[in-house]
Amino acid sequence: DVKVTQSSRYLVKRTGEKVFLECVQDMDHENMFWYRQDPGLGLRLIYFSYDVKMKEKGDIPEGYSVSREKKERFSLILESASTNQTSMYLCASTMGGFSGNTIYFGEGSWLTVV
Kindly determine how many residues on this chain lie close enough to bind another protein according to the rule CB under 8 A: 31
Sole binder of another protein in the list 24, 78, 90, 113 (CB under 8 A): 90
12 lies in the site for another protein, by CB under 8 A: no
Phi and psi (nearest 5°) for 10? Answer: -135, 125
> Which residues, in sequence order, are bridge partners of residue 67?
75
Compute the distance between CA of residue 1 and CA of residue 49 in angstroms, rounded to an integer.
22
Going by C-alpha positions, the residue among 19, 14, 9 that lies closest to residue 110 is 9
* Choice between 17 and 71, CB closer to another protein: 71
64 lies in the site for another protein, by CB under 8 A: no
CB of 80 to another protein, least distance (A): 25
CB of 95 to another protein, least distance (A): 7
102 lies in the site for another protein, by CB under 8 A: yes
106 lies in the site for another protein, by CB under 8 A: yes
Compute the distance between CA of residue 74 and CA of residue 89 in angstroms, rounded to an integer.
13
Sole binder of another protein in the list 11, 27, 77, 95 (CB under 8 A): 95
Compute the distance between CA of residue 13 and CA of residue 112 in angstroms, rounded to an integer.
6
Burial of 92 (0-12, 13-18, 19+ CB in 10 A): buried
Region near another protein per CB under 8 A, out of 11-19, 66-74, 77-85, 97-105? 97-105
